[in-house]
Structure 1
Amino acid sequence: MSTPPRTPADRSTLLSRADAAVRGLTPGYFALVMATGILSVAMRTNNAMAISELLLVIAAVAYVVLVALSVVRVVRHREAMAADFADPARAFGFFTFVAATCVLGSRLAQEELHAPSLVLMILAALAWIVLGYTVPWTAVLGQHRPARALATANGTWFIWAVASQSIAVLAATLQVELPASMRPAMSLLAVFSWSVGIFLYGAVGVFVGVRMLAYPFRPADLTPPYWVAMGATAITVVAGARIVEMADAPVVDATRGLIAGASVFFWAFGTWLIPPLVIAGYWRHVRHRVPLRYEATLWSIIFPLGMYGVGSQFLGDVDHLPLVHAIGSVEIWIALAAWLVTFAAMLVTIWRTVLRRPRAGVEPGQ
């Protein structure tokens, strides 16, 4: 039986839902691109080329769509965007744009598309600088209520460090591919952003730790972005491995040994974080029965899983650690399975909440 055409009322309802979805778009939705892009890198590293290319297409399309939706949100719902910048619990999600841009650029660099990768790196670096100064001010210091900001510190704050390390990954990836005249600048950018990312991770870890100890912490507060605490260590490992593999340059020669050793340290700490995060999920969803349903922040779990697998393989290759490499080789397939489930849940949610024709007097989700 054919589906009757949409009526003007149906089209109006669809536009209204779409506009509401754009207004409520979470700043951290670019984690979808981060998760998809890093799994594309992982599949290519393991010679699953067809899967890697499909994931690359999905990541590129998602990136373009999210950029377009963000522009529409700035134009139509500027007050909602401003509110996100002023909200300590959401503002650091804007750094997912930086990380997503770099992850996509790193994957394109593997296809020897160096010009687009360089453009994406410049865009990400500019966004990293602007957001790096504006977000902490508008969300924390500029509120003149730092205690309130501390009370809402959460896992999204670690994306600040992830964004910094993503710059290091892309700069180190391009350093060996670009002309020799550009290598010193790329080397300095890679080591600089890696170093800044280390300090940011430590600072955010202190803030989030104090928040968990000093303020009531309910199961509902333990949101998926806390996995970024592990993802930040994983991307630090990837960035370190890439820097160690860079062509010789003064700043690289001065720091190569330090960065190689620190990468092992961060891999070990990230591995140690996985069991507590799994137990926390059990505590939240099983013991306290918080419903497990699709939300955009779930991509903040998929990205760390994928990045941990890639980081383990890269570190295993660079430092000649076969066991670490083997762990990564298994873990990326777990990450891919989690991506498939989350992606399917996302499509179903979009269909139910935005695209599905409403029944008479009933909105989707009711």
Structure 2
Amino acid sequence: MSSRARTAATLRSRWPNQPPASFAFVMATGIVASALLDAGWTVASWTLLWIAVGGLALLFIGLLGRLLNHTDEAVADFRNPHKGFGYLTMVAAINVVGIGFHPVAPAVTWIMAAMSIPLWLFLAYGVPLSMMLRTEIGEALRPRLLPVDGTWFLWVVSTQSLSMAAASLASGGSSVRLLSDAAVALWGVGIMLYLTLTTLVMLRLLTGGENLGGIVPTNWIFMGATAITVLAGSMILHLPSEVPVIAMAGPTVGGISYLLWAFGLWWVPLLVAFGFWRHVVRREPVRYTTALWSIVFPLGMFAVATYRFGTENHMPLVAWVGNVATWVAVAAWLAVVLGMTATFLRWVRRGTPAA
């Protein structure tokens, strides 16, 4: 074997097998940056946003390397009901970062949104189709409802991130009517997906379906989907009321958004109870995994959505809850960063990929 072939083989064997949902780090960091901006911590906000940019670039390199060096595993994850929707974190991460730059550089928001659209089309249709076709052709007797878990709500999150991007661009651009139509249409698609998946996941939880260890933290994505729907709704309500689609749909968007906000708030104690049962009652240790970012992102999204919805609709108590939630999200982000750093340092010392 030539030296070049040996080098390629070594690189292939040592390249990290990056999880599909690893872009949740960028989602979480970007939305906590937005929460800090709302709280008036501008320097900290921009610091986190640039960290998110760096993370986005590194993770795209990591994903490309995985597709080249671990192709079979990447494709298997794409068709796995518990992992495939994780790839949609790419779409949400791109748009969260793009929207973060909108106040100072709308062109960046345009570019990032344009990048995310083909990814969303491919993944939002490709992941469920690959699972349906696999079930029909290769596993005809396999139950279809069993695999549904919290990660499926990334379908909603990615769709609503596009609605947010359209609403952001409509608020300061010349194509207000077209972008407003797109924002409301995508918000509606996200709502229908949300209601469908909520029914399936609640049935699975209440009937004791297997959770593969994923009831916490992946089911926090449930609350994150609720929060991003509320945030997208509040951004739509901020658009000019004279735009026909806003005049028509505005009251519906506002009413549904408020009901979803209340439902998301109700869902938090249940998620905390799940965590208490898992880590206190069952005494499962807390270890760093990329899935922990699926807790940080919903907390940050809930903080931003609550603050902005309360501010937009002149509800000071709701806005105050959003301010309090901001610091919970910041604390969670710092805790998970410490866990990630410690895990990375152990990986460097051992020379083996981190879990």
Describe the SS at the equivalent of 2:228. Answer: helix
Counterpart in 2 of 1:287?
281
Counterpart in 1 of 2:346?
352
User: Are the aligned partners of 1:34 and 1:99 in contact in 2 as well (CA < 8 Å)?
Assistant: yes
Aligned residues: 344
Counterpart in 2 of 1:191?
184
Shifted more, 285-294 versus 57-66: the winner is 285-294
Structure-1 separation of matches of 2:246 and 2:156: 21
Structure-1 separation of matches of 2:65 and 2:214: 30
Residues 148 and 290 (structure 1), Cα distance of their counterparts in 2 relative to 1, 3 Å cut: farther
User: Are the aligned partners of 2:12 and 2:69 in contact in 1 as well (CA < 8 Å)?
Assistant: no
Structure-2 separation of matches of 1:364 and 1:18: 8
User: Are the aligned partners of 2:303 and 2:323 in contact in 1 as well (CA < 8 Å)?
Assistant: yes
Does residue 296 of structure 1 match 2:298? no
Q: CA deviation at 1:79?
A: 0.8
User: Are the aligned partners of 1:302 and 1:339 in contact in 2 as well (CA < 8 Å)?
Assistant: yes
Q: CA deviation at 1:263?
A: 1.0
User: Are the aligned partners of 1:106 and 1:170 in contact in 2 as well (CA < 8 Å)?
Assistant: yes
Counterpart in 1 of 2:126?
134
Q: CA deviation at 1:130?
A: 1.6
| Paired residue type of 2:130 | T
Structure-2 separation of matches of 1:70 and 1:160: 19
Does residue 324 of structure 1 match 2:323? no
Counterpart in 1 of 2:3?
none
Q: CA deviation at 1:209?
A: 2.3
User: Are the aligned partners of 2:12 and 2:70 in contact in 1 as well (CA < 8 Å)?
Assistant: no
Does residue 160 of structure 1 match 2:155? yes
User: Are the aligned partners of 2:261 and 2:306 in contact in 1 as well (CA < 8 Å)?
Assistant: yes
| Paired residue type of 1:297 | A
Q: CA deviation at 1:174?
A: 1.1
Counterpart in 2 of 1:230?
223
Q: CA deviation at 1:319?
A: 1.1
Deviations 1:61-118 (A, max 9, x none): 00011111111111222111110111001001111111111101110102x2111110
Shifted more, 292-301 versus 121-130: the winner is 121-130
Does residue 264 of structure 1 match 2:262? no
Runs of 4+ in 1 over 2 A off after TM superposition: 11-18, 139-143, 145-150, 209-221
Q: CA deviation at 1:140?
A: 3.5
TM-score by length of structure 1 reads 0.89
Describe the SS at the equivalent of 1:345. Answer: helix
Q: CA deviation at 1:253?
A: 1.6
User: Are the aligned partners of 1:102 and 1:121 in contact in 2 as well (CA < 8 Å)?
Assistant: yes
User: Are the aligned partners of 1:220 and 1:284 in contact in 2 as well (CA < 8 Å)?
Assistant: no
User: Are the aligned partners of 1:161 and 1:201 in contact in 2 as well (CA < 8 Å)?
Assistant: yes
Deviations 1:217-270 (A, max 9, x none): 468342311001111111111100000001232112211111111111110000
Structure-2 separation of matches of 1:66 and 1:357: 22
* Structure 1 unaligned regions, length at least 5: 1-10
Does residue 61 of structure 1 match 2:61? no
Counterpart in 1 of 2:306?
312
Q: Percent identical across equivalent pairs?
A: 36
Residues 27 and 218 (structure 1), Cα distance of their counterparts in 2 relative to 1, 3 Å cut: closer
Residues 253 and 296 (structure 1), Cα distance of their counterparts in 2 relative to 1, 3 Å cut: same
Structure-1 separation of matches of 2:293 and 2:271: 15
Describe the SS at the equivalent of 2:145. Answer: helix
Identify the match of residue 173 of structure 2 among 169, 178, 182.
178
Q: CA deviation at 1:333?
A: 0.6
Structure-2 separation of matches of 1:275 and 1:57: 32
Residues 199 and 119 (structure 1), Cα distance of their counterparts in 2 relative to 1, 3 Å cut: same
Does residue 48 of structure 1 match 2:34? no
Structure-1 separation of matches of 2:81 and 2:24: 18
Q: CA deviation at 1:15?
A: 5.3
Does residue 341 of structure 1 match 2:341? no
Shifted more, 273-282 versus 339-348: the winner is 339-348
Counterpart in 2 of 1:273?
267
Residues 200 and 223 (structure 1), Cα distance of their counterparts in 2 relative to 1, 3 Å cut: same
- When the two chains are superposed, the root-mean-square deviation of aligned CA atoms in Å is 2.1
Identify the match of residue 254 of structure 1 among 248, 265, 268.
248
Structure-1 separation of matches of 2:259 and 2:206: 25
Shifted more, 299-308 versus 342-351: the winner is 342-351
